[in-house]
Structure 1
Amino acid sequence: MQSRRVVITGMGQISPLGMDLDTFSAALEAGTSGIRKIESLPADALPSPYAGEALDFTGNISDFGEVDKNQMRSIRKNLKVMCREIQMGVAAAQRALQHSGLAMGDYDPERSGVIFGSDYMMTIPEEFDKATAACLNGSNEFVFEQWAEKGLPEITPLWLLKYLPNMPASHVAIFNDMRGPNNSITLREASAGAALGEAMMTIARGHADVIVAGSTGTRVHETRTCHSYLQDPIAKGSDELSGQCLPFDLNRKGMIIGEGAGSIVLESLEHAEARGAKILGEVIGQAICTGWKADRTPDRATAIGNAMSVACRDAGIQPGDIQHINAHGLGSEQSDWDEAAGLTQFLGDHAQKVPVVALKSYFGNLGAGCGVIEVIGSLLAQQKKSLPGTLGYSTPDPKCQLKVSAEPQEITSDGVFVSLNFSPQGQASAIAIRGV
């Protein structure tokens, strides 16, 4: 079966740089950081008081854009069974659909679907307050033997639905009557590229005409933040450098935590043209690869090099054809070294020619939410014909032999860019997109 062309017709994002596309684009263009002193957690109790919080997102129904009355009623009713990550994901998807001009009735429900990436989702401690208190004895000690009889009845019956990683795709499909392919992917930061790639292939092979693809994630969370500080290479301290994400820079101090969600609407070219949709870009290649060493440790450099090679082979392009690479750019030493090694392996003689930009320098690591937001950033940059610089990049790390874009530079609207993300476990995803 001949593969169909897959185009992008809508975008939506919730990030530390705002909730609408114009605000997001303006922040990138102006070099405005969304990283600031954390507000949702006790900053003084953390090893670092900085984070990229999506402060504009409150979970109010107005955050979901201009939804019709029936959708508004349905979304509002279900807010109580959505944790913040799910709410952000659904809001980004609704905004993407609105941006695309697609409304129920404009598409065949049976040939329309949703594919979403996410992190594993963690419960907040408050969910178990009453249940735990019910199991305390006279000495204020927790008695586990009383949990089944006294604790469990105090937990909200629908508690688990608030934290299942398949719920963003489920809610978006239900709210928009999309009965076709539906999938959820949990590969940490690689989730976004994997979701976009799966969505592209689903349409290309003829199994759907429309797919809402996206991802949502957080590192700003009562429980998840504790996990991040224990497991991830986070910048610690309260000095100025500790509040900056500086990918590939010699003076970087580590990762900055953040939260956000992004979504794009993908359609077959025929479907988009038939309804007169404005085409924003075309997904022309995708890949997801895993690198693993003999000693059972991740080989991220190999995974990155392979993902870039496969995505570009899929797209029918060579390294020299790439307008820019939207890098993972975590801002920690080993991660940046691995990424630079994988990219230079792939780029070869073009390593000092192809511009590399790292948008996490603007908002930190949003977990699974990063990848789609970064794709949106590149698409908006192409529309403006101006690629933003990597914020704060001033002292190149000699171990990262890449052409990191430090200042804004002119680009064409129809060039090809590749978005790259990878997980600490060695899973890398790459998406090749041509602008219009």
Structure 2
Amino acid sequence: MATPTVVVTGLGATTPLGGDVPSTWAGALAGRSGVRTLENDWSERYEIPVTFAGQLAVPAADVLARNETRKMDPSAQYAVIATREAWADAGAPEVEPERLGAVVSSGIGGVWTLLDAWDTVKERGARRVMPLTVPMLMPNSPAGYVSLEVGARAGAHAPVSACASGAEAIAMGVEMIRSGRADVVVAGGTEAAIHPMPLAAFAKMQALSTRNDDPAGASRPYDTTRDGFVMGEGAGIVVLESAEHAAARGARVYAEICGVGMTSDAYAIAPPDPTGAGQERAMRLALEDAGVTGRDVVHVNAHATSTPVGDGIEAAAIRRGLGSDADHVTISATKSMTGHLLGGAGALETIFTVLAIKERTAPPTINVTEMDADLEIDLVRDTPRELPSGDVVGVNNAFGFGGHNVALALRNA
């Protein structure tokens, strides 16, 4: 029996650029930053050296009912908002619940719920802790709520691989369909970690940009003055479907996810392998799985977090992975506009890759005033770039602490 082809039939998101996919995509094409100064006193109260982040453009409380926000951690709230958009965008497909899956990841999980509950215990006693605290703080809570939202009974999964989580969730959704476990899978990632503790912890690692005087210009992948990533929040969800199932119901298809590559560095718990070998191999495996070569690739949405070391490692890995074909491949680093959504990043950037391939338009990278001369890549800067016509392939890279590397290859429908 032939392995099913997996296609994308629905997209949903809530991000620092917009409350849905159309507004987020429009913001990205416009080269607009969703990063701004935080309206709180965390810096003064806790001595946190970073005062900005990429918060949601549309607060979850403006979208969900009050009883929903009370029983879900923000990470699950964001996932549900994005799922409702993606499911409607896919035409709310009729599918047997036992043939419908959910795979939704979070890199950190319900950090707001966890730490708020601890504050309650310390200040008011154990009896005042909310009964739903554990279901809310679980890292699989978003996956559970998404499965409830759509009635998925083929399996609800939550792979956790730090900043590669969202892309790995989509990869797992692809495998659920390829293996015959499901006909339709709702997949993606979410994160809600703009909280004093994660900010303090990332700052202590010297991983965050400290450009407090220029929040919108702080995320600057590949620029010679890049000084760290910018925290972001939000969710990206896609509806995956076997091509046969999609065709039978006359569904609109955005793109095919034709290749999956996953590796691990086994180098260190936080920094990537400086050789970039695992990243390169993930890209090679994705292309091999897709049955294509570097000649077919026209676009890469890079992980590109704006860290001094990480960007260079990835750029070199892309160059080696594609060889001389890298000369005709456009690179976009969309975290320059959204900030880094951690466990949601790989999913949102898969959506960006889907739309880039469908609309033949690579989104820009902003804030690059002086390109690092050592990086041999064709970076799309400031304004969108038209992509070639015909049959083309795009790649989305996502890497995470722990040495997790995921590459997804997408082909035009």
**Aligned ranges 1:326-341 → 2 under 5 Å:** 326-341=301-316
Distance (Å, rounded) in 1 between the aligned partners of 2:267 and 2:205 = 20
Q: 2:197 aligns with which of 208, 214, 223?
A: 223
Q: 1:309 aligns with which of 284, 289, 299?
A: 284
Q: Secondary structure at the match of 2:367?
A: coil
Change (3 A) 1:133 1:77: closer
Q: 1:289 aligns with which of 259, 263, 266?
A: 263
Give, as a single letter, the amino acid of the residue that structure 2 aligns with 1:350. Answer: D
Distance (Å, rounded) in 2 between the aligned partners of 1:330 and 1:240 = 17
Q: Secondary structure at the match of 1:323?
A: strand
Q: 1:3: which partner in 2?
A: 3
Q: 2:154: which partner in 1?
A: 180
Distance (Å, rounded) in 1 between the aligned partners of 2:195 and 2:330 = 34
Change (3 A) 1:32 1:110: same
Deviation per CA, 1:180-236: give whole Å up to 9, x if none: 122111101111121111111110121110000010014412322222212351111
Q: 2:57: which partner in 1?
A: 55
Distance (Å, rounded) in 1 between the aligned partners of 2:270 and 2:17 = 38
Distance (Å, rounded) in 2 between the aligned partners of 1:170 and 1:240 = 38
Q: 1:409: which partner in 2?
A: 385
Q: 1:255: which partner in 2?
A: 229
Q: 2:405: which partner in 1?
A: 428
Deviation per CA, 1:346-401: give whole Å up to 9, x if none: 12223333111110011111111111111212222334332122112231212322
Distance (Å, rounded) in 2 between the aligned partners of 1:159 and 1:296 = 29
Change (3 A) 1:296 1:195: closer
Distance (Å, rounded) in 2 between the aligned partners of 1:56 and 1:123 = 18
Q: Secondary structure at the match of 1:253?
A: coil
Give, as a single letter, the amino acid of the residue that structure 1 aligns with 2:50. Answer: S
Q: 2:32: which partner in 1?
A: 32
Q: Secondary structure at the match of 1:261?
A: strand
Alignment of 1:110 onto 2:85: no
Q: 2:78: which partner in 1?
A: 88
Q: 1:205 aligns with which of 179, 186, 191?
A: 179
Q: Secondary structure at the match of 2:83?
A: helix
Distance (Å, rounded) in 1 between the aligned partners of 2:87 and 2:153 = 16
**Aligned ranges 1:13-412 → 2 under 5 Å:** 13-39=13-39, 42=42, 45-60=47-62, 62-63=63-64, 77-102=67-92, 106-121=94-109, 122-123=111-112, 125-134=115-124, 151-231=125-205, 233-240=207-214, 243-293=217-267, 298-299=272-273, 301-406=276-381, 407-412=383-388
Bigger shift: residues 28-37 or 75-84: 75-84
Cα offset, 1:241, TM superposition: 7.3
Distance (Å, rounded) in 1 between the aligned partners of 2:206 and 2:176 = 34
Aligned length: 406
Change (3 A) 1:226 1:39: same
Give, as a single letter, the amino acid of the residue that structure 2 aligns with 1:54. Answer: L
1:241–1:253 Cα contact (<8 Å) kept: no
Change (3 A) 1:294 1:14: closer
Change (3 A) 1:156 1:385: same
Q: Secondary structure at the match of 1:170?
A: helix
Deviation per CA, 1:123-147: give whole Å up to 9, x if none: 454323442135xxxxxxxxxxxxx
Cα offset, 1:268, TM superposition: 0.5
Pairwise CA RMSD: 2.2
Distance (Å, rounded) in 1 between the aligned partners of 2:162 and 2:50 = 22
Distance (Å, rounded) in 2 between the aligned partners of 1:279 and 1:41 = 46
Bigger shift: residues 48-57 or 116-125: 116-125
1:236–1:242 Cα contact (<8 Å) kept: no
Bigger shift: residues 188-197 or 396-405: 396-405
Distance (Å, rounded) in 2 between the aligned partners of 1:435 and 1:381 = 10
Q: Secondary structure at the match of 2:75?
A: helix
Q: TM-score, normalised by structure 2?
A: 0.92
2:221–2:306 Cα contact (<8 Å) kept: yes
Q: Secondary structure at the match of 1:347?
A: helix
Change (3 A) 1:224 1:393: same
Give, as a single letter, the amino acid of the residue that structure 1 aligns with 2:258. Answer: I
Give, as a single letter, the amino acid of the residue that structure 2 aligns with 1:177. Answer: G
Q: Secondary structure at the match of 1:283?
A: strand
Give, as a single letter, the amino acid of the residue that structure 1 aligns with 2:400. Answer: S
Distance (Å, rounded) in 1 between the aligned partners of 2:393 and 2:278 = 21
Distance (Å, rounded) in 2 between the aligned partners of 1:218 and 1:231 = 19
Q: TM-score, normalised by structure 1?
A: 0.87
- Structure 1: segments with no counterpart, 5+ residues: 64-74, 135-150
Cα offset, 1:153, TM superposition: 2.3
Distance (Å, rounded) in 2 between the aligned partners of 1:230 and 1:293 = 21
Deviation per CA, 1:48-88: give whole Å up to 9, x if none: 2221110312334x35xxxxxxxxxxx86453221111110
Higher Rg: 1
Give, as a single letter, the amino acid of the residue that structure 1 aligns with 2:408. Answer: I
